[in-house]
């Protein structure tokens, strides 16, 4: 699946996540989410997964990448995945409290990673096979 379509799908899940997000413009959510998930001007899902793993949540990332059911993530765990500055910028861009933003992200992130990892598109987002191998070794604790 195309990464832009994956982000748009995640933005819709974010919008549908609660009453505070219902009135948000989908394009604004896509823009804010793209900014949150970007590094060096590109969507960096490998970096996201490294943050998830580095936050002690590797089992979550593994479930999102696998073909089974996605493990849910709490708003508190989302707060561990992203820096306070990134979450503040994201929530500020959308005019939401950090709590509402992390709650919405908790609904969107598992689906974003799950959809991006279908049919190999996460490999492209991770910088090719070598980037994916580096990310996988981090997730499974191998250096």
pLDDT of residue 123: 46
Q: Is the pLDDT of residue 51 over 60?
A: yes
Q: What global pTM score does this model have?
A: 0.81
Q: Which domain holds residue 81?
A: 3-139
Q: What is the mean pLDDT of the chain?
A: 85
pLDDT of residue 119: 52
Q: What is the mean predicted confidence (pLDDT) over 31-52?
A: 91
pLDDT of residue 120: 44
Banded model confidence at residue 54, pLDDT cuts 50, 70, 90: confident
Q: What is the mean predicted confidence (pLDDT) over 74-91?
A: 96
Instruction: Render pLDDT for 26-41 as a digit per residue (tens, 0 to 9).
Output: 999 999 999 999 988 8
Smallest CA-to-CA distance from 87 within 109, 105, 108 is with 105
What is the CATH classification number for the domain harbouring 106? Answer: 1.10.10.690
Q: Based on the structure, what is the number of domains in the chain? A: 1
């Amino acid at each position: 699946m195309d990464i832009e379509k994956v982000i748009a799908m995640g933005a819709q899940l974010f919008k549908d996540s609660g009453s505070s997000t219902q009135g948000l413009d989908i394009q604004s959510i896509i823009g804010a989410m793209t900014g949150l998930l970007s590094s060096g001007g590109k969507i960096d899902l490998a970096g996201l997964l490294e943050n998830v793993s580095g936050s002690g949540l590797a089992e979550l990332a593994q479930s999102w990448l696998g073909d089974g059911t996605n493990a849910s993530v709490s708003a508190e765990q989302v707060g561990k995945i992203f820096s306070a500055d990134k979450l503040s910028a994201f929530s500020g861009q959308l005019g939401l409290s950090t709590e509402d933003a992390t709650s919405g992200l908790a609904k969107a992130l598992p689906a974003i990673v799950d959809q991006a990892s279908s049919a190999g598109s996460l490999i492209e987002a991770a910088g090719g096979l070598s980037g994916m191998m580096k990310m996988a070794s981090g997730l499974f604790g191998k250096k």
